[in-house]
Structure 1
Amino acid sequence: MAKIRVGFGYDVHQLVEGRKLWLGGISIENPKGLLGHSDADVLIHAICDALLGAANLRDIGYHFPDTATEYKNVDSKILLRRTTDLLHEAGWHIGNIDATICAEYPKLNPHIEKMKETLASLMEIEVSEVSLKATTTEKLGFTGREEGISTYAVALIEK
C-alpha cells in the first residue's frame, strides 16, 4: 500500500524597484521585482516549503538559510531542484502541486503555462501534475496596494 502525505507552504516578498520579477522560475517583465536574500521567487519558495513539510524535512529556511552567503541572489530553481533531490533521497515521489499566487499586478495568466512547464521539469513530474492559479485581493491589504506578492501551495507526495 502506498503511503501519501500532504504539505502546505506559504511565502510572501515585498515588491521593490531595481529588482527583476521572478515567479515560477521565469522572469516576468514588471517595473518592480521581489526583495529577498535569493531571487525571492515566492512561488518556488512556497512549493519548496509544501514539499519539505509533507516529507517532514523541516522548511526552506532550514535547508537554505538566508544567512548563508552561497544563497545570496541564488536562482530559486536551484533550491527547488535540491528540494526535489532531498525528497527522492528520503524515498518520496511528488504526486502533484496546487498553488495560488496572490498579486494585484502584473497579470499572471499569460505566464501560467510557462511556469508550469518550468516547475514540472525541475520536479521531474508531468505538467498536468502542476496546478497554478493567479488571483488578486481586490485592492485589499499589502497585495492589493501592490506592496508585495504572496503564494500558497499544497503538495502531495507518495512513497
Structure 2
Amino acid sequence: MRIGQGFDAHRFASHDAGKPLWLACLRWDGDGIEGDSDGDVAAHALIDALLSAAGLGDIGMLFGVGSDSAGAGKHGDEMLRATVAYLRAHGMRPVSASVVVVANRPKIGKRRDEAQQALSHAIGCEVSLTATTTDGMGFTGSGEGIAAIASALVEPIG
C-alpha cells in the first residue's frame, strides 16, 4: 500500500460573480469559489492525494491548467471519478482517504455525513471529512478563501 497527500486552496468569488459554492461534491449556500472548474477544494485535494499515493503526478498533470484545460467547467465528483479510472488504468485502487477543510464557511457539521457519502461514492472507498478554522489567521481566517488537505491510501489491484 502507498499513502499520498494533497492540498488545494482557492479564493471565494465575488458575490456579483454568481458562482455556486461546491465543496466535497455538494452544492452549499453562499458565494462560490474562483477557478476553472467548480473550485471544490476538498475534491481537488483528494485528487492530488490519490495521484500522489499512486505515483502518478498531480491534478495539473492529469487535467491541465487554465480555462481550456480538461478540467475546466467540471465538477469535483466528475474529476474524482476520472482520477479513479486513471488509477485503475495504472493498476491501482483507492483503499481509504481523509479530507480536512480549512475555512470559516460553510459549516461542515450539518452536512458532514452527506459530504462523506458523496466523496466515498465518487472514489469507491470510505472517505472521512473533518473541518477546522485558523482562528482568524491567514486568508482562510479572514474569509478570503477556503483550503483543504487530504490523505489517501491506495493499493495495487489484484
Tell me the SS of whatever aligns to 1:61: helix
CA RMSD of superposed structures (Å): 1.1
* Number of equivalences: 152
- Per the TM alignment, residue 69 of structure 1 is displaced from its structure 2 partner at its CA by 4.6
TM-score (norm 2): 0.92
1:66-81 maps to which residues of 2 (within 5 A)?
66-67=65-66, 68-81=68-81
- Per the TM alignment, residue 149 of structure 1 is displaced from its structure 2 partner at its CA by 0.2
Aligned to 2:50: 51
Tell me the SS of whatever aligns to 1:116: helix
Aligned to 2:11: 14
Instruction: Return 5+ residue gaps in structure 2 as ranges.
Output: none
1:38 partnered with 2:37? yes
Distance 1:73 1:93 in 2: 26
Aligned to 1:92: 92
1:108 partnered with 2:105? no
Distance 1:136 1:90 in 2: 36
Instruction: Return 5+ residue gaps in structure 1 as ranges.
Output: none
Distance 2:131 2:80 in 1: 20
Aligned to 1:83: 83
Report the CA distance shift for 1:55/1:80 in structure 2 as closer, same or farther (over 3 A): same
- Per the TM alignment, residue 146 of structure 1 is displaced from its structure 2 partner at its CA by 0.4
Aligned to 2:119: 119
Instruction: State, as a whole percentage, how many aligned pairs show the same letter.
Output: 37
- Per the TM alignment, residue 112 of structure 1 is displaced from its structure 2 partner at its CA by 1.2
1:139 partnered with 2:136? yes
Q: Which amino acid aligns with 1:105?
A: R
State the Cα deviation string for residues 77-113 of structure 1 (Å, max 9, x = none). Answer: 1110010011111111211101100011221111211
- Per the TM alignment, residue 70 of structure 1 is displaced from its structure 2 partner at its CA by 4.5
